[in-house]
Amino acid sequence: MEVEKLKYWLDLTRQYAAESFWKEAFSQETNPFLSSGHIQNLSLAPKGGSSECFPRCDLYKYKDKLFVEAELPGMAREHAAITLKGKQLTIRGHYSTFKPNLTYFLKERCDQSFEKNINLPFRVNHHEIQSNLDKGLLTIILPIISEEEAVPIHIEHSASAEASHQLQE
């Protein structure tokens, strides 16, 4: 079991090295892990067998919609689940790459469960959310609920207002 953990950590370090993770992390003047606008949910330690860095996602706004794109290569849509609670979008799934009755000479793709939590910057209309999984790219379209503008209310002066003011004295 310890060997599996070691393999997992080696895979993570290879992934981060390939992305120049450490170079980018230490080249910024401010702490990138606390930056509210660019890096979120970055965690090197898996939580409950999942990794916050997987799947890789993009979150962007186009016109009046938020788009989330997540890389899920080789995953069938029935093995993925998407939930929305408040302004937190969660993508869960399980990769199963092991095939019984085969003799493996190289096995780098491991079975893994994942859970990715994404904090949305806007409230969305949960009745009109659309999602699609095509060629390993999960796309979720979330229509933004526009915040109502403040409407000024005119306060009228009346005799009853004067009477209530006199009662308070």
Chain centre distance of CA 76: 20
Determine the Cα–Cα distance for residues 119 and 91; give it in Å rounded to an integer: 12
Check if the beta carbon of residue 31 is closer than 8 Å to that of residue 39. Answer: no
The verdict on residue 108 lying in a domain is yes
pLDDT in tens, 35-49: 444 444 443 333 444
Specify whether 73 is located in the same domain as 136. yes
Distance from CA of residue 147 to its chain's centroid?
A: 22
Count the domains in the chain.
2
Does 95 or 163 have the greater pLDDT score? 95
Q: Based on the fold, state whether residues 73 and 22 are members of the same structural domain.
A: no
Q: Do 69 and 142 belong together in one domain?
A: yes
Q: Which residues of 134-159 are buried (b: 16+ CB within 10 A; e: fewer)?
A: eeeebebebbbeeeeeeeeeeeeeee
pTM for the full predicted model:
0.57
Q: Are strands 130-134 and 88-95 parallel, antiparallel or unpaired?
A: unpaired
CB 51 within 8 A of CB 63: no
**SS3 assignment, position 152:** coil
Residues 28 and 70 in one domain: no
Q: Which residue has the higher pLDDT, 98 or 27?
A: 98
For the chain, what is the radius of gyration of the CA atoms? 25
Cis omega (within 30 of 0) on the bond before 55? yes
Residues 116 and 80: beta-carbon distance below 8 Å: no
Same domain, 87 and 110: yes
What CATH number is associated with residue 66?
2.60.40.790
Which residue type does 137 have?
L
Could you list the residue range(s) of the whole structural domain that residue 62 is in? 46-146
Higher pLDDT, 111 or 1: 111
Indicate whether 98 belongs to any domain: yes
What pLDDT, on the 0 to 100 scale, is given for residue 25? 52
